[in-house]
Amino acid sequence: MSRPVVVDSVAALRAQIRDWRRDGLRVAMVPTMGALHDGHISLVRIALERADRCVVSIFVNPTQFAPTEDLDKYPRQLAHDLDRLGMARADLAFTPTVGEMYPAGFATRISVGGPSAGLESDFRPTFFDGVATVVAKLFLQATPDCAIFGEKDYQQLCVVRQLCRDLDLPVEIIGAPTIRDAHGLAMSSRNAYLGEAELKIARQFNVILRKTATDLAAGADQGDATGRTSRALIAAGFREVDYVEARESLTLAPWRHDRDGRLLAAAWLGKTRLIDNVDVPSA
């Protein structure tokens, strides 16, 4: 097993991609914040199915964290990440510093409307501006043909698609299914914060959401169903529920029973905030 080529400057990234382009190769990108798990590795595998070369960025992006959030505590394990990328046969890891991505005097932010409204934005108002800005920079730096994002962060996926449509960024955005553990818990870097007792509670998250999605598809009133879901999460041991909402799958507009939907939720387990989502079939 060999690790991928590692570059930490935009100039080196562009030089490598320029060489690949000269050879007529198709390039895919997987943007990450590191602390790689099986969900990330599944994105790399899809990238290599869709392209000749795969670039994985590893950058804990400070602009998507509010001052009260876990930027300093966010797990960082670069050596382990590079080993995992080597086993997955990723070609290049882009590991810029904060100074490389946001040099002195940096003063530009991108704000995406539409699918960013509500849900995460109600609780993390600066989050999607930070995501849109760093993703736009990565796409301009790497010029990938396609980029792979997991459906676990479903609202983020919709925001990135809107970003590319609105700014005419020539990148195909591919959504990849959420990877779950044997108990149905969505893979997340923040799962590392959970103790064994908390993991048992967290594994009820998806079970409760799927029951609600089934009820909604069968015609249950949305307000009643989501209210029951919040109460069920608290009863299971979650400390607080930020939201449980059904939205249209493509636009994240309010859901109607004749449209395919997504049930999205965020809840606190101790000091850890978890998100998840499941399909809601149309009637």
pLDDT, tens digit, 9 for 90 and up, residues 265-283: 999 999 999 999 999 988 7
Residue spans per domain, the chain: 5-176, 189-280
User: Is 48 marked as a binding-site residue?
Assistant: no
pLDDT, tens digit, 9 for 90 and up, residues 215-224: 999 999 999 9
Fold of 189-280: Pantoate--beta-alanine Ligase; Chain: A,domain 2 (3.30.1300)
pLDDT, tens digit, 9 for 90 and up, residues 103-124: 999 999 999 999 999 999 999 9
Amino acid at 27: V
Mean confidence (pLDDT) of the chain: 97
| Residue that wins the pLDDT comparison between 64 and 68 | 64
- Give the per-residue pLDDT at 281: 86
- Give the per-residue pLDDT at 27: 98
- Give the per-residue pLDDT at 203: 98
**Helix, strand or coil for residue 94?**
strand
Q: Is the pLDDT of residue 131 over 80?
A: yes
User: Is 156 marked as a binding-site residue?
Assistant: yes
Q: Which of 167, 184, 168, 186 is nearest to 176 (CA)?
A: 186
- Give the per-residue pLDDT at 2: 84
- Give the per-residue pLDDT at 124: 96
Signed CA dihedral, 111, 117, 122, 128: sign only = negative
Q: What does the pLDDT average to over 42-50?
A: 98
Class of the CATH-defined domain 5-176: alpha beta
Q: Where are the alpha helices (DSSP H) in 124-203?
A: 127-142, 154-167, 196-202
User: Is 91 marked as a binding-site residue?
Assistant: no
User: Is 223 marked as a binding-site residue?
Assistant: no
Distance, CA of 6 to CA of 82 (rounded, Å): 9
- Give the per-residue pLDDT at 154: 98
Q: What does the pLDDT average to over 177-189?
A: 96
Q: Is the pLDDT of residue 157 over 70?
A: yes
List the catalytic residues.
40
Whole-number percent of the chain with pLDDT over 90: 96
- Give the per-residue pLDDT at 1: 66
- Give the per-residue pLDDT at 169: 98
pLDDT, tens digit, 9 for 90 and up, residues 229-278: 999 999 999 999 999 999 999 999 999 999 999 999 999 999 999 999 99
Cα distances from 189 to residues 1, 21, 169, in angstroms, run 24, 33, 28
Q: Calculate helix-pair angle for 222-236, 204-217, nearest 10 degrees.
A: 160
Cα distances from 140 to residues 101, 157, 262, in angstroms, run 12, 18, 30
Q: Which of 149, 155, 175 is nearest to 31 (CA)?
A: 149
Q: What is the CA radius of gyration of the chain?
A: 19
Q: Is the pLDDT of residue 80 over 90?
A: yes
- Check if 5-176 and 189-280 are the same fold: no
Ramachandran angles phi, psi of 260, nearest 5°: -65, 140
User: Is 163 marked as a binding-site residue?
Assistant: no
User: Is 188 marked as a binding-site residue?
Assistant: yes
Q: What does the pLDDT average to over 72-95?
A: 96
